[in-house]
Amino acid sequence: MESGGALARLAIALMPVFVLAGCVRALPPRPPLLTVAPVRPADWPAPSVRAAAAAPEIQALRFSSLDARVGTDWDGEVLASTNAARVELATSLFRFDAPRVAPGRFRFHFNLVDVPAQFVRDYRLRVVARTAAGAESATEVPFRISGRADALAYNADARSSDALDAPPLVDANGGNVDLAHGVTVIAFIYTRCADPKMCPLVTAKFARMAKLLAGTPVRLLEITLDPAFDTPAVLRTYASAFGADGVRWKFATGERSAIAAFAERAGLYVDRPRPGLILHTEAVLIARDGFLESNFAGNDWTPAEVAAEARAIAALPANPIARFGLRLFSGVVRACGVAFARGYSPAMLLGALLVALAATALLAALLRRMGRRRVVVEPAKS
């Protein structure tokens, strides 16, 4: 029993280390063809000439910075072979095509808006050159987004027990959506999202949740952030492709500004850099009778975890281990995001935790030693 209790205390003590270890990401080395400078180097070569059927070549990269700070400009150029028709830059947060300004030359320029704290961190920036026939070559670059001190002010994460104040919503069959009664799991998507790790992944997870929650009163709802394109007819086609029944699992649309305001109140960050592209954070909401019960940011949750949380909110039997996993993931997202927004690196965080744990262990050892000291009581003299 004593050894089991010691192991339990050790596991609890080490939990923060494992949580913050989730912040650490392996980054690619800085490629030799990369230049970090505000302007193009004078010695950049001319694009190499390649046949249309050949694989493209990425010859050189130039970024104004590898530490893009929100609220500032970020620009860059990609030099590729002349047969490159497109150049795409992407991280797990964003994806865009660099405009082609001449054969083999691609250039972009952005002003970065604020991003939520959980996305202020290190990334792998993947640069892909493609020909018109689909042949491609790629390279990866270490990349970071840094936040200002007020980077957390976008919504302070909608809190449990907040009233949802949902706008009027219409499902894919033209019926009204009711969030004022019962338990509903909610996510925001749009059907034109091409990133398989974002909206399509969310909907695939909802398909799994629909099976896990079959026979329960818990409902699933996905709300489009692109109502101008995602008409009820478009949503019906999308829903059918994923097997949504339109009863327990629905897709909904509504007035654009009302949905945008609702998403912001629910804790999402949404940006529309160009028509057809919506950059947004992922979140799963669980509402009961019109009030927010749980709000989990990110997209690494599992269907089993969210289904267990929804069952518990609906007062149904639920898997406590799955619920704990969801809570732990949410803690990782918030801990990493807040720490990085304050300028701390994963190494600094883990180092500080290890020092704190060592100090705690030393103090505990001293207290145990003091507690084991025996007090000798002299027998009373008669």
In the 8-state DSSP scheme, what is residue 205?
H
User: Is residue 9 classed exposed, middle or buried when 0-12, 13-18 and 19+ CB atoms within 10 A define those classes?
Assistant: exposed
Q: How much is the pLDDT for 324?
A: 55
| Distances 27 to 24, 69, 117, 140, 349 between C-alpha atoms, Å | 9, 19, 20, 9, 18
Write down the domain spans for the chain: 2-20+347-371, 34-148, 152-341
Q: How much is the pLDDT for 56?
A: 96
Does domain 34-148 fall under CATH 2.30.110.10? My reply is no
Give the pair of three-digit tokens for residue 336: 């990493």
Give the pair of three-digit tokens for residue 62: 């130039």
Q: How much is the pLDDT for 262?
A: 82
Quote the Cα angle for 69-71-74, to 5°.
55
Taking the whole predicted model, whether its pTM rises above 0.85 is answered as no
Residue whose tokens read 């009027």:
168
Q: Which helix (H) or strand (E) holds 9?
A: helix 2-21
> pLDDT tens track of the chain, all 382 residues?
444 455 555 555 555 555 555 455 567 888 999 999 999 988 899 999 999 889 999 999 999 999 887 777 889 999 999 999 999 998 877 788 999 999 999 999 887 765 655 567 778 899 999 999 999 999 999 988 876 433 332 333 444 445 677 788 888 888 888 888 889 999 888 888 877 778 888 899 999 999 999 989 999 999 998 888 999 999 999 998 888 888 899 999 998 888 888 887 777 767 676 777 777 767 788 888 888 887 777 777 788 888 888 888 888 765 555 555 555 555 554 455 444 444 445 555 566 666 666 777 777 777 777 665 554 445 555 4
Residue whose tokens read 């909110």:
313
Q: Where are the strands (E) in the chain, listed by range?
A: 34-36, 58-63, 67-69, 73-80, 86-90, 95-97, 100-102, 105-111, 122-130, 136-146, 170-171, 183-189, 219-224, 249-253, 270-274, 277-280, 283-288, 291-297
Q: How much is the pLDDT for 313?
A: 86
Cβ contact 331:118 at 8 Å:
no
CA distance 297 to 221: 16
Give the pair of three-digit tokens for residue 225: 């952030």
The one-letter amino acid at 136: E
Q: Which CATH number fits domain 152-341: 3.40.30.10, 3.40.1410.10, 3.40.190.10, 3.30.160.110?
A: 3.40.30.10
CA distance 325 to 354: 23
